[in-house]
């Protein structure tokens, strides 16, 4: 019962953070207690340049966080392998690189070691053609290694973190007063609707009114919000009904729902429950159980590493060696950074040459550059 109450409170605070980003560090502190970890991070990493941008953290050492952005992001062995995982799935870095091999890398020796980091879990929140955003929790030596219970708990909160981050992105990470939610969001370019458990529209902003009036993606039949596409419509209806049961009851329902319209443009919807936390005031004011955000969707383009791996049938290790060659340089330097022998690097390079048709290191660099800049292909 105590765990259930802790989980429900955490989920409520996660959704409040979607409207007030200043709450994220406190949310991460609660998340760490829930999954028994020492620090948590929400960050984006460029899958090609390996540049990183940390949005929110808790329990980190600021000097090491700065060093990560300045130096160690490009040495992180999580990338580019992590980009192949689906959103919301819970994974560990040792699924990408064996623990014994990880411990020999400069990243582990110089960055993880001094912080006593021994294990991690992460889930991808969002992917684009050039980068991915991740929520990651870290275990230090005092915490012990990740166990199945920790993974189970992480999997429980992952969809809620993702929903909150996506909604925060829609409102541009500006603080929104939950009690005056409708007024705060009326100026959004994205469509916004407050609905009850049956989908009846209790309030809509200007963009929302235009969208249902056009009827190409969303519609209002009998005053109830629905999607033109029948599959998306059922998902939305299920989400509204679940929202009446509280934040935790929504689960994965209503996250990044693809809206297929009659035209060529694609939209996506996210459903935010209003039945708990600070958002409850807005729900009571409008007799609403959820807010629906709908906006144009980005194209689902594969990232350059994914395209290269598929094109040449590369293994995760071969892909890591390929990008290390591009980022770091020669065989000795790559071997030192990755903590492997020069012969191991040469063996993987021979395989890369065989699969890609390249005959020298410079050809591999040109290959990655071409896929990273489509105009050159």
pLDDT, tens digit, 9 for 90 and up, residues 61-74 = 999 999 999 999 88
Give 293 or 82, the one with higher predicted confidence.
293
**Global pTM value:** 0.82
Using a 10 angstrom Cβ sphere, with 0-12 exposed, 13-18 middle and 19 or more buried, the burial of residue 291 is: buried
Task: Quote the pLDDT of residue 375.
Answer: 38
Whether residue 226 has pLDDT greater than 90 = yes
Q: How confident is the model over 260-285, as a mean pLDDT?
A: 83
Q: Are 52 and 64 in contact (CB under 8 A)?
A: no
Q: Which fold has domain 304-376?
A: Arc Repressor Mutant, subunit A (1.10.10)
Cβ atoms within 10 A of the Cβ of 78, count?
Answer: 23
Task: Quote the pLDDT of residue 332.
Answer: 87
What is the spatial distance between Cα 122 and Cα 288, in angstroms, rounded to a whole number?
33
Which positions ≥6 away from 204 have C-beta within 8 Å? Answer: 191, 192, 193, 194, 212
What is the spatial distance between Cα 273 and Cα 290, in angstroms, rounded to a whole number?
4
Per-domain boundaries in the chain: 2-170, 178-296, 304-376
Give 108 or 83, the one with higher predicted confidence.
108
Give 319 or 212, the one with higher predicted confidence.
212
Give 258 or 302, the one with higher predicted confidence.
258
Residue 323, both tokens = 């990008």
Cβ atoms within 10 A of the Cβ of 365, count?
Answer: 16
- What is the architecture, at CATH level 2, of domain 178-296? 2-Layer Sandwich (3.30)
What is the spatial distance between Cα 324 and Cα 329, in angstroms, rounded to a whole number?
7
Q: How confident is the model at residue 330 (pLDDT cuts 50, 70, 90)?
A: confident
> How far is residue 146 from each of residues 91, 118, 141, 155, 260, measured CA to CA in Å?
11, 9, 11, 13, 40
Find where tokens 């929504």 sit: 250
Per-residue pLDDT tens digits for 150-197? 999 999 999 999 999 999 887 765 666 665 666 777 777 889 999 999
Whether residue 116 has pLDDT greater than 80 = yes
What is the spatial distance between Cα 248 and Cα 250, in angstroms, rounded to a whole number?
5
Whether residue 130 has pLDDT greater than 80 = no
Q: Do domains 2-170 and 304-376 have the same CATH topology?
A: no
Instruction: Output the average pLDDT for the chain.
Output: 87
Whether residue 111 has pLDDT greater than 90 = yes
User: Helices 342-356 & 331-338, crossing angle to 10 degrees?
Assistant: 110
Task: Quote the pLDDT of residue 194.
Answer: 93
Residue 292, both tokens = 């629906």
Q: What is the DSSP letter of 83?
A: G
- Cis bond leading into 235, ω under 30°? no
Task: Quote the pLDDT of residue 260.
Answer: 84
Q: Are 256 and 166 in contact (CB under 8 A)?
A: yes
Which positions ≥6 away from 271 have C-beta within 8 Å? Answer: 163, 236, 239, 240, 243, 250, 253, 254, 255, 257, 290, 291, 292
Per-residue pLDDT tens digits for 309-324? 888 888 888 888 888 8
Task: Quote the pLDDT of residue 38.
Answer: 97
Q: How confident is the model over 281-292, as a mean pLDDT?
A: 86
Give 133 or 278, the one with higher predicted confidence.
133
Q: What is the dihedral of CA 296, 301, 303, 305, to 10 degrees?
A: 170
Class level of CATH domain 2-170:
alpha beta
């Amino acid at each position: 019962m105590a765990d259930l109450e802790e989980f429900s409170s955490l989920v409520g605070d996660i959704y409040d953070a979607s409207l007030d980003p200043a709450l994220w560090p406190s949310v991460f502190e609660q998340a760490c207690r829930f999954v028994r970890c020492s620090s948590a991070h929400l960050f984006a990493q460029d899958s090609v340049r390996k540049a990183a941008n940390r949005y929110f953290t808790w329990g980190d050492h600021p000097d090491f966080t700065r060093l990560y952005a300045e130096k160690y992001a490009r040495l992180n062995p999580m990338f580019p392998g992590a980009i192949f995982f689906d959103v919301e799935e819970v994974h560990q870095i040792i699924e990408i690189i064996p623990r014994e091999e990880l411990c020999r890398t400069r990243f582990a020796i110089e960055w993880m070691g001094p912080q006593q980091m021994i294990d991690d879990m992460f889930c991808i929140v969002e992917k684009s053609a050039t980068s991915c955003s991740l929520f990651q929790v870290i275990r230090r030596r005092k915490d012990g290694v990740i166990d199945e219970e920790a993974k189970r708990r992480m999997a429980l909160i992952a969809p809620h973190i993702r929903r909150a981050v996506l909604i925060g992105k829609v409102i541009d990470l500006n603080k929104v007063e939950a009690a005056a939610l409708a007024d705060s969001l009326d100026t959004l370019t994205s469509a916004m609707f407050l609905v009850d458990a049956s989908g009846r529209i209790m309030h809509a902003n200007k963009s929302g009114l235009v969208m249902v009036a056009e009827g190409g993606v969303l519609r209002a039949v009998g005053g109830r919000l629905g999607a033109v596409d029948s599959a998306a419509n059922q998902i939305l209806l299920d989400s509204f009904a679940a929202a009446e049961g509280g934040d935790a009851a929504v689960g994965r329902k209503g996250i990044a729902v693809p809206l297929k319209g009659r035209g060529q443009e694609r939209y996506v919807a996210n459903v935010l429950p209003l039945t708990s936390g600070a958002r409850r005031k807005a729900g009571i004011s409008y007799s609403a159980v959820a807010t629906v955000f709908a906006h144009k969707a980005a194209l689902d383009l594969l990232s350059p590493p994914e395209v290269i791996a598929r094109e040449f049938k590369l293994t995760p290790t071969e892909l890591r060696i390929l990008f290390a060659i591009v980022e770091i340089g020669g065989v000795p330097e790559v071997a030192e950074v990755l903590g492997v022998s020069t012969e191991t690097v040469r063996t993987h390079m021979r395989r890369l040459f065989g699969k890609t048709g390249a005959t020298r290191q410079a050809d591999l660099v040109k290959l990655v550059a071409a896929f990273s800049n489509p105009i050159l292909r």
